[in-house]
Amino acid sequence: MRKVLFDMTMLRNTPLRNRLWRSATWLGLADCKGLVTDEIISTYRLLAEGGVGLIITGLTSIAQDDATIGGECKFYDDSFVDSHQRLTDTVHRHGCPILLQTAMVDGPVDTLSTGQVESIVESFGLAARRAERAGYDGVQIHAAHFFYLSKFISPLFNHRTDRFAGAAILPAILSAMRAHTCNDFIVTIKMNSSDEYPGGLTSKDFIDACRGLEEIDAIEVSANGTSRQGIRAGQNEGSFLSAAAQLAETVRVPVSLVGGLRSIDFINQVFDTTKIAFASLSRPLVCEPDLPNRWLQGHMTPSHCVSCNSCYRTPGHQCIFNLKKYKL
């Protein structure tokens, strides 16, 4: 059966109104304690109202002693649950499921004992349980963009010889999350398909790591070369298409493509010619939170995003051309 963007579909046992995901995007708007703020809730409300099928939050640190990038949400104990519950309640009122992106920013890889790595694994499992209590439909494990877990799966950083060699930490985290949550709880992962450095993660490494995650609900395929400039509809869309298409041919797990998607024509072409199941957007939804509804209503021109990356230099990761339109 032909896939199109506005198919209603399912992720685990959760219905999605279309195949379009809001890919995790750092906002830098958490308060000094790492709590969810009104500004964060307003951002996700606009996305939910705008018609996206699934929202994945920005990076949320699950370890108290984690490094920081500034302004990220925290989720390392129960004191954070209530602020996240406000967020999930808001998004659900607009008919959209939401996943918490669970992550660590940075830390050592080779110098940890096996027991210390096991403690990190358990921290991710407990974060999933906390997320379920806060009303999230599921979580995404962040193993991309040279944040901590992506270093564990990279031969540039992981030279361990114990049971956490290679990408072994990922199925361990998945098992911990499953053990701490109910059967309907979604667990996905965002994965580097390449480190884009000599001696780094290879295509075979990536595929092998994903084969070890056959019980996960979906894999979002990215790489270290994110937020590329100069993306133009119909010319150079789909930065990681080749890796995502190869993975979708290899595993039974649904695959989502992120990176440089700008037009509904290209996205539907991806669905027509590959086994990729979902499409993920970040900057286009920064520029137009209501882009899915615009497309659904028949206004089919590509995203207005010009890939300038100026949004990274604005408060709350806002489009510089759009700051006055949306009252965040």
Predicted confidence (pLDDT) per residue in 3-34, tens digit: 899 999 999 999 999 999 999 999 999 999 99
**Apex CA 295: angle with CA 294 and CA 296, to 5°?**
90
Q: Kindly state whether residue 321 falls inside one of the protein's structural domains.
A: no
Structure tokens at 11: 């992720």
| Residues above pLDDT 90, as percent of the chain | 88
Q: Hey, which bits of the chain come out as E strands?
A: 9-11, 14-16, 20-22, 54-56, 60-61, 73-74, 98-103, 138-143, 186-192, 218-222, 255-258, 278-281
pLDDT of residue 242: 97
The residue ranking higher by pLDDT, 316 or 43, is 43
Average pLDDT on 218-233 reads: 88
Residue 150 · residue 182 · CB < 8 Å: no
CA-only gyration radius of the chain, Å: 18
Q: Kindly state whether residue 158 falls inside one of the protein's structural domains.
A: yes
pLDDT of residue 324: 55
| Residue-wise pLDDT tens digits, 205-214 | 999 999 999 9
Our count of domains for the chain comes to 1
Helix/strand number for the chain, H first, E second = 10, 12
Average pLDDT on 42-55 reads: 98
Is the pLDDT confidence value at 234 over 50?
yes
Structure tokens at 308: 């300038």
| Single-letter residue type at 228 | R
Query: What's the pTM value of the predicted model, to 2 decimals?
Result: 0.96
pLDDT band at 146 (very low <50, low <70, confident <90, very high): very high
Is the pLDDT confidence value at 192 over 50?
yes
d(CA 270, CA 234): 12
Q: The domain that contains 91 carries what CATH number?
A: 3.20.20.70
pLDDT of residue 325: 56
The residue ranking higher by pLDDT, 323 or 233, is 233
Q: Kindly state whether residue 318 falls inside one of the protein's structural domains.
A: no
**What's 301's DSSP letter?**
P
Q: What CA–CA distances, in Å, run from 104 to 49, 73, 101, 108, 279?
A: 29, 11, 10, 11, 25
Q: Kindly state whether residue 327 falls inside one of the protein's structural domains.
A: no
pLDDT of residue 328: 46
Sign of CA dihedral 123, 132, 327, 306: positive
Q: Kindly state whether residue 323 falls inside one of the protein's structural domains.
A: no
Q: Kindly state whether residue 324 falls inside one of the protein's structural domains.
A: no
**Apex CA 49: angle with CA 185 and CA 295, to 5°?**
105
**Which structural domain range is residue 122 located in?**
9-313
